Amino acid sequence: MTVSLIHLKRPLGASTPITIEELKAESCRWPLSDDPPWHFCGLPKAKGAYCAVHASVAYRGPGDKEKPE
Ligand SMILES: [Zn+2]
């Protein structure tokens, strides 16, 4: 059983990590790593720059109710 660092870094969803070169306009830009080579979620965007899962993470917080978008 082999679990790569990338897998450990993405507890959410079942996306396939993509590199910055593979990142498209419609791809979720959630970073999956802190150091190069950077990888991103890559799922289709659902809200803002992120897929549904990552948007729910990115846009929650204390100011959540101030931005109904
Ligand atoms: Zn995502």
For 43-59, what is each residue's pLDDT tens digit? Answer: 999 999 999 999 999 98
Q: Which of 14-18, 29-33, 64-68 has the lowest mean pLDDT?
A: 64-68
Give the per-residue pLDDT at 34: 83
CA of 24 to the centre of ligand 1 (A): 13
CA of 16 to the centre of ligand 1 (A): 10
Cβ atoms of residues 41 and 50 within 8 Å: yes
Q: How confident is the model at residue 13 (pLDDT cuts 50, 70, 90)?
A: low
| Measured CA distances, 50 to 2, 11, 24, 45 (Å) | 28, 16, 12, 5
CA of 35 to the centre of ligand 1 (A): 18
Give the per-residue pLDDT at 48: 94
Mean pLDDT taken over the chain: 78
User: What is the b/e burial string over 22-53, where b = at least 16 CB atoms within 10 angstroms of the residue's CB?
Assistant: ebeeebbbbebeeeeeebbbbbebeeeebbeb
Query: pLDDT exceeding 90 applies to what percent of the chain?
Result: 46
